[in-house]
């Protein structure tokens, strides 16, 4: 079974077991739906939890409660723990990918010359960006859009990009 990290617990909020989280999922409405099962990684063990409530706290953080934790004392030691879900391909549309699936792929230009390896997808206010470690050991940031990202082949573990002057 494969797991995806969907959030990091930042802190406890109030007395009723509510947690402040930093979400790393693009599917908040699906992942945090009341009654959904998630997992918290505690001491290298996945502990199952059930979503009781969820709300967007502000532009960076969200708040969540779980049926299994109802007091401050139960959640105060969960700070800096990660929340996971079971990976589910069925929620993706065609040409959509999990960010984790785009890590460690070989990156090629349109002439099939290898230019480096993908490190991660970074979210900036303007757009998503593919971070690449080039063969020269430098980091390059490629906008994650149709102009630059020409092909993604998860099975072949490769990404083809359109390279313009100054990009790499």
**Rounded average pLDDT over 35-64:** 95
Q: What is the tens place of the pLDDT at every residue in 116-159? A: 999 999 888 788 899 999 999 999 999 999 999 999 999 999 99
pLDDT at position 88 = 78
Whether the pLDDT of residue 37 is over 90: the answer is yes
The secondary element (H helix, E strand) that includes residue 50 is: strand 45-56
- Calculate the average pLDDT of the chain: 92
Which contacts of 96-105 are long-range, i.e. CB under 8 A and separated by 24 or more positions?
A: 97/152, 97/154, 98/4, 99/24, 100/4, 100/5, 101/154, 102/130, 102/152, 102/159, 104/157, 105/152, 105/154, 105/157, 105/158, 105/159
pLDDT at position 7 = 96
pTM above 0.75, yes or no: no
pLDDT at position 124 = 81
pLDDT at position 26 = 79
**Rounded average pLDDT over 58-72:** 94
């Amino acid at each position: 079974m494969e797991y995806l990290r969907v959030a990091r617990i930042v802190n406890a909020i109030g007395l009723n077991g509510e947690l402040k989280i930093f979400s790393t999922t693009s599917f908040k409405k699906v992942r945090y739906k009341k009654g959904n099962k998630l997992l918290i990684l505690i001491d290298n063990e996945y502990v199952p939890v059930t979503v009781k409530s969820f709300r967007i706290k502000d532009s960076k953080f969200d708040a969540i409660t779980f049926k299994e934790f109802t007091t401050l004392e139960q959640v105060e030691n969960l700070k800096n723990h990660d929340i996971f879900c079971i990976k589910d391909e069925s929620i993706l549309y065609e040409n959509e990918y999990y960010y984790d699936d785009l890590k460690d792929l070989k990156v090629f230009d349109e002439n099939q010359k290898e230019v480096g390896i993908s490190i991660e997808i970074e979210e900036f206010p303007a757009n998503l960006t593919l971070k690449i470690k080039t063969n020269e050991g430098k980091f390059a940031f490629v906008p994650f859009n149709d102009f630059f990202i020409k092909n993604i082949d998860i099975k072949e573990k490769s990404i083809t990009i359109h390279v313009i002057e100054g990009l790499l």
